[in-house]
Amino acid sequence: MSEQKKQKQHSMHLNALQQFDPEAYQWIIKEQERQMHGIELIPSENLVSQSVLEAMGTVLSNKYSEGYPSKRYYGGNEFIDEIENLAIERAKKLFDAKHANVQPLSGSPANMAAFFAALEPGDKFFGLKLTEGGHLTHGHPVNFSGKLFNAVQYTLNPKTELLDYDAIQKLAEKEKPKLILSGYTAYPRAIDFKRFREICDSVGAVCMADIAHIAGLCAAGVHENPVPYFDIVTTTTHKTLRGPRGAVIFCTEEWKEKIDKAVFPGLQGGPHEHITAAKAVAFKEALQPSFKEYAQQIVKNAKAMAEELMQNGLRLVSGGTDYYLMLVDTMKSKNLPGKEAEQALEKAGIYCNRNTIPFDTRKPWDPSGIRIGTPAITTRGMKESEMKEIARFIVKALDHAKDDSELKKIKAGVQEFCKEFAFYD
């Protein structure tokens, strides 16, 4: 996009900010440029639309609205109620849900509220181990989830690097957890939610999923959507769902009251209604037919990238991807620890995060691999042929990980490549 257009957009939206606080302004602009000049492969990130951005920057931020629509502890909420109801109704339609609480501030607090609704301190629940793809809030010992509750961590099958449903069933029969959590943060394959429902039913456990990463794919019907038949489902709104930073909790009629009470007054005070408005906008976007195409393209792109990476000798955990995310074993492929791989790619203008691979012998701070995904670059309009090109940039950067001048050259190529795919102008 032209410089002229860029300035027009900024002057429209950040005029007062630029004048009053040029220092803060400049870093905001620099960050926008970084996002536009680089290749964003962090699978938990995305680019929101101008409409979502605009909704976040509104006077709704000024309002206190503790409580729920029509049951507020503050006056002056007639329009806020309309906004929150709009978000709730759209969320329910999008995920075929009986109930939606749109107030959780982010994914971690949403999980905390869900646990508070379903468990007492000390109760036993199942989550996938962090180093094998689970989230911190799924029972890691440093997190509230591992400190307050008796978290039993299930693992993957070491041979296939996949979920082992029979082993989870056996473990559930032995441990009798009160709740079983599925849904992950670094798992490249489809999740058999129906099987999880069966396992939960067989031992009388609450059936919960955290679809933070794959919510957009579930909403679009690209990945199985567990919401209609799970007890409780949490999700962030800012990953594949492409909304503002925030979260939603879905549940059945049976859990409705407990979930709402756990969010407020159990955990949070005033909801962020400017973000609720942006959630409503994002849900409207996700209800459009174009969102389905977007979700399908995420998957096509991931498969194209995976194929090219593997052809170039990189080992992907589980031998590829089903959807949007890949774990690259940089240690085995290039004898490169994940941290060095992440840093080399950053020097080349390609952003990813280092990540443990299943049964990693290295620590999370400096693990054996990196995690990459296609949601953000798909939002920018990139397709399969661009994926092949990006894969080649990645391989080249990893091959020259210790050569700063070569990485600089790759970065120049990356910047040139990105020009065609400006998103914010």
Ligand X SMILES: *Cc1c(COP(=O)(O)O)cnc(C)c1O
Query: Contacting ligand X (CB under 6 A), which of 63, 92, 99, 135?
Result: 135
Least gap, CB of 368 to ligand X (angstroms)? 20
Query: Contacting ligand X (CB under 6 A), which of 212, 241, 281, 325?
Result: 212
Least gap, CB of 207 to ligand X (angstroms)? 16
Contact 230, 197 (CB under 8 A): yes
Annotation says 392 is catalytic? no
DSSP one-letter code for 317: G
- Record the tokens describing residue 272, joined without a space: 């962020």
The owner of tokens 């009986």 is 98
Q: Of the residues 236, 321, 356, 379, which is catalytic?
A: 236
Give the C-alpha separation, 157 to 86, whole Å: 43
- Residue whose CB is less far from ligand X, 220 or 248: 248
Pick from 342, 314, 350: which is nearest to 329 by CA?
Answer: 314
Annotation says 404 is catalytic? no
Q: Are strands 124-128 and 369-373 parallel, antiparallel or unpaired?
A: unpaired
- Residue whose CB is less far from ligand X, 36 or 186: 186
- Residue whose CB is less far from ligand X, 298 or 407: 298
Site pattern 175..194 for ligand X (x: CB under 6 A)? --------xxx---------
The owner of tokens 């969102």 is 291
**DSSP letters along 78-110, please?**
HHHHHHHHHHHHHHHHHHT-SEEE---SSHHHH
Query: Contacting ligand X (CB under 6 A), which of 9, 106, 169, 415?
Result: 106
Give the C-alpha separation, 272 to 63, whole Å: 8
Least gap, CB of 44 to ligand X (angstroms)? 5
Query: Contacting ligand X (CB under 6 A), which of 137, 145, 330, 356?
Result: 137
- Residue 107 contacts ligand X per CB under 6 A: yes
One-letter identity of residue 302:
A
Annotation says 254 is catalytic? no
Cα 101 to Cα 157, 236, 260: the distances in Å are: 35, 12, 7
- Residue whose CB is less far from ligand X, 67 or 133: 133
- Residue 355 contacts ligand X per CB under 6 A: no
Give the C-alpha separation, 208 to 150, whole Å: 16
Annotation says 236 is catalytic? yes
Least gap, CB of 217 to ligand X (angstroms)? 13
Least gap, CB of 186 to ligand X (angstroms)? 8
Least gap, CB of 212 to ligand X (angstroms)? 3
Give the CA count within 13 Å in the CB-facing half-sphere of 276.
29
Judged by CB under 6 A, the number of residues near ligand X is 14
- Residue whose CB is less far from ligand X, 187 or 291: 187
Enumerate residues 223-242 that contact ligand X by CB under 6 A: 236
Q: Of the residues 64, 89, 315, 392, which is catalytic?
A: 64
Q: Using CB atoms, what's the residue nearest to ligand X?
A: 107
Q: Of the residues 245, 380, 396, 409, which is catalytic?
A: 245
Pick from 346, 348, 352: which is nearest to 376 by CA?
Answer: 352
- Residue whose CB is less far from ligand X, 85 or 268: 268
- Residue 63 contacts ligand X per CB under 6 A: no
236 - beta bridge partners?
247
Site pattern 38..57 for ligand X (x: CB under 6 A)? ------x-------------
**DSSP letters along 348-399, please?**
TTEE-EEE--TT-SS-TTS-SEEEEESHHHHHTT--HHHHHHHHHHHHHHHH
Contact 271, 77 (CB under 8 A): no
Annotation says 210 is catalytic? yes
Pick from 63, 97, 98: which is nearest to 83 by CA?
Answer: 63
Annotation says 322 is catalytic? no
Query: Contacting ligand X (CB under 6 A), which of 213, 242, 347, 354?
Result: 213
User: What does the binding site for ligand X look like in residue numbers (CB under 6 A)?
Assistant: 44, 106-108, 111, 135, 137, 183-185, 210, 212-213, 236
- Residues with a catalytic annotation lie at 64, 66, 210, 236, 239, 245
